[in-house]
Chains A and B, each alone.
Chain A
Amino acid sequence: MNIGVVVFPGSNCDHDCEYIFKDVLGQSVKLIWHKDTLPAGLDAVVLPGGFSYGDYLRTGAIARFSPVMGAVKTFAREGGLVIGICNGFQILLEAGLLPGVMLRNTSLNFICKDVYVKVENAATRFTNRCESGQVLKIPIAHADGNYYTDPVTLGGIKANAQVIFRYCTAEGKVTPEANPNGSLDNIAGIMNADGNVLGMMPHPERSAETVLGNEDGRLIFLSILSAFGKSEQQSRLVSV
């Protein structure tokens, strides 16, 4: 696969996403500077986590004006696969590629820890290697992951099976105690109506290798590969 990872000023999970696709899964990855446009021939675009523009105005609010975002919108409109993780999800919301907004965590603190999410829809290009209802352990790391939208939109995305991940207990129960940030309906990740744009707060790239003690997140990346009829290549070591 040809993957493009967008680098906004302040992105800080760009190298991690590159590492997973390139070094762990053996795919071809380009880092794309936000002032450039998308190169031709990409299969998927990743908007990585981080603090684009320092999160100084509101998470993702400035990044959506980055020159590359015009190309990302076109790419998405034409059916290209786009995944936004954490700050990438926030940017997708601000850019209108996904519905809703992010509020500050109810604790008002940044939270970094493992959480459990339930796969609500396994029939997507991002989750086809998961079972429906499967519980994944994936870490979160954010201060603004409290998803919110109006009741009509919420009804719509639920009815349309666009809610992909919900925070749950280790046993898969979706409870208020399992919700780390106050997110509406325990929502951890959603997809657009066309099924080609995913935003999720948890970081699957941080839980996709045995050396890090957890491979649950790898299923997301393997699902994307499967959607393109690919399987992972022999992983290889590269110099730092």
Chain B
Amino acid sequence: MKSLVITQAILEQHKLSEDEYKKILEILGREPNWTELGMFSAMWSEHCSYKSSRIHLKKLPTTGPRVVQGPGENAGAVDIGDGLCAVFKMESHNHPSFIEPYQGAATGVGGILRDIFTMGARPIALLNSLRFGDLDNANTRHLLKGVVSGIAGYGNCMGVPTVGGEIVFNDIYALNPLVNVFCVGIARKDKIFLGKAAGVGNPVIYFGSKTGRDGIHGATMASDSFDEEAAQKRPTVQVGDPFTEKLLLEACLELMAGDCLVGIQDMGAAGLTSSACEMASREGTGVELELADVPRREPGMTPYEIMLSESQERMLMVAKAGREDEVINICRKWDLDVAVIGRVTDTGKVVLKENGQIVAEIPAKALADDGPRYDRPSSPPAYQEMLQSLNYDALPDVKDANAALLELLGSPTIASKRWVYEQYDHMVRTNTMVRPGSDAAVLRVKGTNKALALSVDCNGRYCLLNPYEGAKIAIAECARNLACSGAEPIGVTDCLNFGNPQRPEVMWQFVLAIEGLKDACEALSVPIVSGNVSLYNETNDLSIYPTPMIGMVGLIEEADHTATQWFKQAGDVIILLGRTKEDLGGTEYLKIVHHREQGSPPLLNLEEERAVQACTIRLIREGLVQSAHDCSDGGLAVALAECCVSGPDGQIGAVVQLPLDGLRRDALLFGESQSRILLSVEQDQADSVLNAARNAGVPASRIGVVGGSRLMIRVDGDQRVAGCTIDLEVPNVHERWASAIPRALGQD
């Protein structure tokens, strides 16, 4: 091995601290060579090692009767009965998408798909959560278009439908957009594959695309903050090839149908380094690889480059000894590169050779599991009190509620996302029962009577104002979206997007958010089975809002027992479940109308939440519900408007009467009190629904009737306004909501 002098500059380039380097010296008992240093740098990066987050992640509830695979593998798995599992995970591709939006987003989709099919599951659905700056910024429009076409380009070609998602536009994300992708697959419970290098002597087989010089140090880049020089990091972004990935998917599932596989893992962040050391570490074995046998795109690649390349669409597997030909033939059938590149050993080490000469030798566990752990200091930011305090007396109540409602519906965060989801194939595989545009997507599970409901959610502003409540609400709202579809939540995946963990205020947000996730998951009895942490989301020293994105899977036992959010027919009675309080803090209304992102976000009572969700699911199962919609951004008025205009088969009006009950009018109409669901039910069922809700301890009130061509909302007991507070032609409401995003993009 060549020796080299490790200087401070080299360590900085590899994002390794002096203490971390000392630890490397201890582990090796000598100085690392260049390749070894690169491998430690990648595996000990924040992205791969979770060094700032791991001690906190341990607090999350990860077990439950349905859990088949919890965190630590490529994806989590929960039992859905009939011998099947839902396998799912969410991941971020934020930094690459900012540098190169199309490829960044596309390879994000590619990476999460591999995590799912590596487990033996056929991916059945993709969702995504996106955060951008304001659309009046030309670069934001460029990023949005690039990210959407990247997601479409990859997912559509793979034949995995993109069935839902959410997008929030806020200036805080202008220089650090978030691209989080959530994938769900279905596997047989007895055919889950894990990333383990078991069986000394078994062959280690590489298959998929060739290794090139792209994405080298992607993991390290993803663990860094950004500044004006970000564009220069473009060479660290990988280039996706969905066609090869489609072949890889089919080849994997064909390999897995037999019994020649022992373990398998995709080469994601940190490429061959992470797959090799993680597979060995999980099993307590070692691996010995001959790098000259790795299929390469170009000659002259060094061991350092081969080990740190993040070329896409590559897999590493361990097969049973003697079954190599079977594996090779299946890979060749699908025109994939394939090579036996090594063997499983009992040394506990990752040993790399180049033409027989050892070029690196590191204990697998040291790379995969013994990375640094930090309990970083945390303290609330100095501005927190100011953020949370808001003098409502100084805010005038809404004067023109019509104008305010239209303004909210026309804000890109609330407006229809049709422009986005029409670019995604959301129907391929013919499972999509409820398409994008309702609270949750619903997919039937072929071969059973069941269906899965899927949703993603997080309100970053709530999390900024109160990280604990915000995180709680992210879980509760996601589950509420599922409940509105008739589904019981059975598993969570999270993608925790935060700023720089070396800032105590960011760690404070992170630690509180974890507490919120924990309490909400426990109260709603839903485990977190997989996830991802994305830190250093800051550019020019400005951190994003803490954004713990939640993806949730819900189970519908009988596929017919589902509901959608839009009103169905004239004459149906509108019922509001839950209580409306004076919750104006942190609302979309305050931001859009008063340009303030301040105050205390709504506080959520988990007992009330549980009751309202259980009640909704039961009513849907009993066939009593025509539509169910969660009240969230923009409050009751926006939720009612969405019920009127979001149906795929046309629009319908509603006449609603709300009691003021001593609230401000703006709080009543646009406040974002939690644990509220809008139902519409057939007229002759209204009384039994109201009784059923009240018997379940859920506040329920009849607030109006579906029908006509106007959306009218009257407020009782309001002395200031006679007649209607909101009175709009439904086509006008629809137009404002439907055209906002295409219009904003038309500026180019």
B677 interface residue per 8 A CB criterion: no
Across the interface, which residues of B come within 8 angstroms of A110, CB to CB?
A: 152-153, 156, 423-425
Of A12, A16, A35, A209, the contact of B158 (CB 8 Å cutoff): A12
Shortest distance between the CB of A54 and any CB in chain B (Å): 3
Which of A68-76, A111-119, A148-156, A189-197 forms part of the interface with chain B?
A: A111-119
Across the interface, which residues of B come within 8 angstroms of A35, CB to CB?
A: 333
Taking a contact as CB atoms under 8 Å apart, the answer to whether B427 and A139 are in contact is yes
Across the interface, which residues of A come within 8 angstroms of B243, CB to CB?
A: 9-10, 51, 53-54, 56
Q: Fill in one digit per residue for A46-67: 1 if any B CB lies within 8 Å of its CB, else 0.
A: 0001110111100000000000
Of B149, B246, B423, the contact of A111 (CB 8 Å cutoff): B423
Taking a contact as CB atoms under 8 Å apart, the answer to whether B157 and A54 are in contact is yes
Taking a contact as CB atoms under 8 Å apart, the answer to whether A112 and B334 are in contact is no
Please give me the residue from chain B that is nearest to A205 by CB atom: B430
Q: Fill in one digit per residue for B230-252: 1 if any A CB lies within 8 Å of its CB, else 0.
A: 00000000000111101100000
Count contacts on A: residues with CB < 8 A to the other chain.
Answer: 38
A203 to B429, CA, bound (A): 11
Known: A9-B335, A16-B430, A240-B186. A51 touches B156 (CB 8 A): yes
Q: Fill in one digit per residue for A21-47: 1 if any B CB lies within 8 Å of its CB, else 0.
A: 001000000000101000000000000
A233 interface residue per 8 A CB criterion: no
B418-448 residues with Cβ-Cβ distance < 8 A to A are: 421-430, 432-433, 444-448
Please give me the residue from chain B that is nearest to A55 by CB atom: B157
Known: A15-B429, A206-B427, A239-B447. A111 touches B422 (CB 8 A): yes
Please give me the residue from chain B that is nearest to A203 by CB atom: B427
Across the interface, which residues of B come within 8 angstroms of A205, CB to CB?
A: 430
Known: A9-B246, A9-B334, A211-B559. A206 touches B430 (CB 8 A): yes
A212 interface residue per 8 A CB criterion: yes
B339 interface residue per 8 A CB criterion: no
Known: A19-B446, A50-B159. A13 touches B428 (CB 8 A): yes
A9 to B559, CA, bound (A): 33
B322 interface residue per 8 A CB criterion: no
B648 interface residue per 8 A CB criterion: yes
A229 interface residue per 8 A CB criterion: no
Taking a contact as CB atoms under 8 Å apart, the answer to whether B444 and A211 are in contact is yes
Please give me the residue from chain B that is nearest to A111 by CB atom: B422
Taking a contact as CB atoms under 8 Å apart, the answer to whether A211 and B433 are in contact is yes
Taking a contact as CB atoms under 8 Å apart, the answer to whether B423 and A51 are in contact is no
B405 interface residue per 8 A CB criterion: no
Please give me the residue from chain B that is nearest to A114 by CB atom: B648
Q: How many A-B residue pairs have CB under 8 A?
A: 99
B464 interface residue per 8 A CB criterion: no
A159 interface residue per 8 A CB criterion: no
B84 interface residue per 8 A CB criterion: yes
Taking a contact as CB atoms under 8 Å apart, the answer to whether B427 and A12 are in contact is no
Q: Which of A20, A49, A111, A211 has most chain B Cβ within 10 Å?
A: A211
A141 interface residue per 8 A CB criterion: yes
Of A141, A212, A213, the contact of B425 (CB 8 Å cutoff): A141
Across the interface, which residues of A come within 8 angstroms of B122, CB to CB?
A: 240
Taking a contact as CB atoms under 8 Å apart, the answer to whether A212 and B430 are in contact is yes
Q: Fill in one digit per residue for B675-697: 1 if any A CB lies within 8 Å of its CB, else 0.
A: 00000000000000000000000
Taking a contact as CB atoms under 8 Å apart, the answer to whether A19 and B247 are in contact is no
A211 to B448, CA, bound (A): 12
Q: Which of A9, A10, A56, A240 has most chain B Cβ within 10 Å?
A: A240
Please give me the residue from chain B that is nearest to A35 by CB atom: B333
Of B152, B157, B421, B432, the contact of A212 (CB 8 Å cutoff): B432
Taking a contact as CB atoms under 8 Å apart, the answer to whether A240 and B422 are in contact is no
Known: A51-B156, A54-B243. A112 touches B186 (CB 8 A): no
Taking a contact as CB atoms under 8 Å apart, the answer to whether A12 and B246 are in contact is yes
A209 to B333, CA, bound (A): 34
Across the interface, which residues of A come within 8 angstroms of B149, CB to CB?
A: 109
Taking a contact as CB atoms under 8 Å apart, the answer to whether B423 and A10 are in contact is no
Q: Fill in one digit per residue for B195-219: 1 if any A CB lies within 8 Å of its CB, else 0.
A: 0000000000000000000000000
Across the interface, which residues of A come within 8 angstroms of B334, CB to CB?
A: 9
Across the interface, which residues of B come within 8 angstroms of A112, CB to CB?
A: 156, 421-427
Across the interface, which residues of B come within 8 angstroms of A211, CB to CB?
A: 433, 444, 559
Of B247, B428, B445, the contact of A240 (CB 8 Å cutoff): B445
Please give me the residue from chain B that is nearest to A56 by CB atom: B243
Please give me the residue from chain B that is nearest to A208 by CB atom: B430
A2 to B648, CA, bound (A): 37
Across the interface, which residues of A come within 8 angstroms of B153, CB to CB?
A: 110
Known: A9-B247, A51-B242, A240-B84. A19 touches B447 (CB 8 A): no
Taking a contact as CB atoms under 8 Å apart, the answer to whether A10 and B157 are in contact is yes
Taking a contact as CB atoms under 8 Å apart, the answer to whether B430 and A10 are in contact is no
Known: A50-B159, A112-B426, A211-B433. A240 touches B335 (CB 8 A): no
Shortest distance between the CB of A205 and any CB in chain B (Å): 6
Taking a contact as CB atoms under 8 Å apart, the answer to whether A12 and B159 are in contact is yes
Taking a contact as CB atoms under 8 Å apart, the answer to whether B447 and A109 are in contact is no
Shortest distance between the CB of B429 and any CB in chain A (Å): 6
Please give me the residue from chain B that is nearest to A52 by CB atom: B243
Please give me the residue from chain A that is nearest to B418 by CB atom: A113
Please give me the residue from chain B that is nearest to A49 by CB atom: B428
A15 to B123, CA, bound (A): 13
A49 to B122, CA, bound (A): 18
Q: Fill in one digit per residue for A177-207: 1 if any B CB lies within 8 Å of its CB, else 0.
A: 0000000000000000000000000010110
A14 to B149, CA, bound (A): 24
Q: Which of B84, B243, B244, B648 has most chain A Cβ within 10 Å?
A: B243
Of B424, B430, B447, the contact of A237 (CB 8 Å cutoff): B447
A19 to B431, CA, bound (A): 11
Shortest distance between the CB of A235 and any CB in chain B (Å): 12
Taking a contact as CB atoms under 8 Å apart, the answer to whether B159 and A13 are in contact is yes
A50 to B247, CA, bound (A): 13
Taking a contact as CB atoms under 8 Å apart, the answer to whether A113 and B422 are in contact is yes
A19 to B428, CA, bound (A): 12
A205 to B246, CA, bound (A): 21
A49 to B334, CA, bound (A): 18
Taking a contact as CB atoms under 8 Å apart, the answer to whether B242 and A54 are in contact is yes
Across the interface, which residues of A come within 8 angstroms of B186, CB to CB?
A: 240
A97-128 residues with Cβ-Cβ distance < 8 A to B are: 109-114
Please give me the residue from chain A that is nearest to B436 by CB atom: A112
Q: Which of B243, B428, B429, B444 has most chain A Cβ within 10 Å?
A: B428
B283-336 residues with Cβ-Cβ distance < 8 A to A are: 333-335
Taking a contact as CB atoms under 8 Å apart, the answer to whether B444 and A141 are in contact is no
Please give me the residue from chain A that is nearest to B249 by CB atom: A12
A13 to B161, CA, bound (A): 11
Known: A10-B243, A13-B428, A240-B445. A141 touches B157 (CB 8 A): no
A13 to B156, CA, bound (A): 11
Taking a contact as CB atoms under 8 Å apart, the answer to whether A10 and B433 are in contact is no
Across the interface, which residues of B come within 8 angstroms of A109, CB to CB?
A: 149, 152, 422-423
Across the interface, which residues of A come within 8 angstroms of B152, CB to CB?
A: 109-110
Across the interface, which residues of A come within 8 angstroms of B429, CB to CB?
A: 15-16
Across the interface, which residues of A come within 8 angstroms of B426, CB to CB?
A: 112
Please give me the residue from chain B that is nearest to A33 by CB atom: B333
Taking a contact as CB atoms under 8 Å apart, the answer to whether B428 and A12 are in contact is yes
Of B84, B188, B241, B433, the contact of A54 (CB 8 Å cutoff): B241
Q: Fill in one digit per residue for B74-113: 1 if any A CB lies within 8 Å of its CB, else 0.
A: 0000000001100000000000000000000000000000
Across the interface, which residues of B come within 8 angstroms of A20, CB to CB?
A: 430
Across the interface, which residues of B come within 8 angstroms of A50, CB to CB?
A: 159
Please give me the residue from chain A that is nearest to B446 by CB atom: A240
* Pairs across A and B, CB under 8 Å, 12 listed: A10-B157, A12-B159, A54-B157, A54-B244, A110-B423, A112-B422, A112-B425, A141-B428, A205-B430, A206-B428, A239-B83, A240-B84
Interface set of B (CB-CB < 8 Å, partner A): 83-84, 122, 149, 152-153, 156-159, 186, 188, 241-244, 246-247, 333-335, 421-430, 432-433, 444-448, 559, 648
Closest 9 CB pairs of A and B: A12-B159, A54-B243, A51-B157, A141-B425, A240-B447, A16-B430, A239-B447, A206-B427, A112-B425
- Known: A51-B156, A112-B423, A206-B430; 7 extra A-B contacts, CB below 8 A, are A16-B430, A51-B246, A110-B153, A111-B423, A141-B425, A205-B430, A211-B559
